[in-house]
A = this chain, B = another copy of it.
Amino acid sequence: MKLSTKGKYGVRALFEIARNYGKGPLAIKEIAERQQISLSYLEQILHRLGKAGIIESVRGPHGGYELARKPVELTIGDVVRALEGPIALSHCLEPGATTDGCYQAEDCVARMVWSKVGEKIEEALDSITFEQLLRQYHGKDREHPAHRKKLVAAGKGAC
């Protein structure tokens, strides 16, 4: 039940992009430095977010990435789904799952369990918008790259 770094990095990167909302695109290099994420890896992540319609890219000098919608319309759930795939605790609860290799419906005791829990997770993820994050973070500007760098060097724990 851990999140992969993709999801965690994605939220952190989007947080930076969201902070820049309304001020034009933010360069990927800038994001990578502020959040101490490998630039090459970040490219992969941002590309996925682009395909999911969460961010838009502006090419050429002074280009970068910007939010495709207002922070209030972007939830953590959107990001996690884009980066980690659909929230389904079991394979047969995924959207396109076939009946083959699966009890489906009332025959399967476990299905109801994982389905119910999955719904709660989505609810929780979708209840948090980037607007809220921005508001919560307003003013506090203590997450300096240097600090983050030390953490990443330590190896474990960064979220």
Contact = CB atoms under 8 A, between A and B. Distances in A.
A88 B2 contact: yes
Summarize A's interface: helix, strand, loop or mixed.
helix
Interface in A91-127: 91-93, 97-98, 100-103, 106-114, 116-117, 120-121, 123-125
Interface in A1-57: 1-3, 8, 11-12, 15
Q: Oligomeric state, in number of copies? A: 2
Most buried by B among A84, A106, A159: A159
Interface of A: 1-3, 8, 11-12, 15, 76, 80, 84-85, 87-93, 97-98, 100-103, 106-114, 116-117, 120-121, 123-125, 128, 133, 136-137, 140, 142-143, 147, 151, 154-159
